[in-house]
Amino acid sequence: MIKYFYYNNSRKSIRIDCNYPGTIVLSNVLGNITRTYSYQANGQWINLSSLPSGTYFASTYGSSITFIK
């Protein structure tokens, strides 16, 4: 179960808290997969500061968020 899954603009990071490990798929507005990130269970910040500016979609296990970096 995913407890938290959001983008923090001030940290330029995604926060995911989940009961199990998994993978986040990041894609751009054209639908092209930009990056994939693995995360551990019980919470993790994923730093996205190296991404170029733009609008992105992050998804994992049926949950998704849209954010602008």
In tens digits, the chain (69 residues) has pLDDT values of: 899 999 999 999 999 999 999 999 999 999 999 999 999 998 899 999 999 999 999 999 889 999 999
* pTM for the full predicted model: 0.87
pLDDT at 66: 96
pLDDT at 13: 97
Burial class (CB in 10 A: 0-12, 13-18, 19+), 18: buried
Cα–Cα distance for residue pair 26/36, rounded to 1 Å: 6
pLDDT at 23: 95
pLDDT at 62: 85
pLDDT at 19: 92
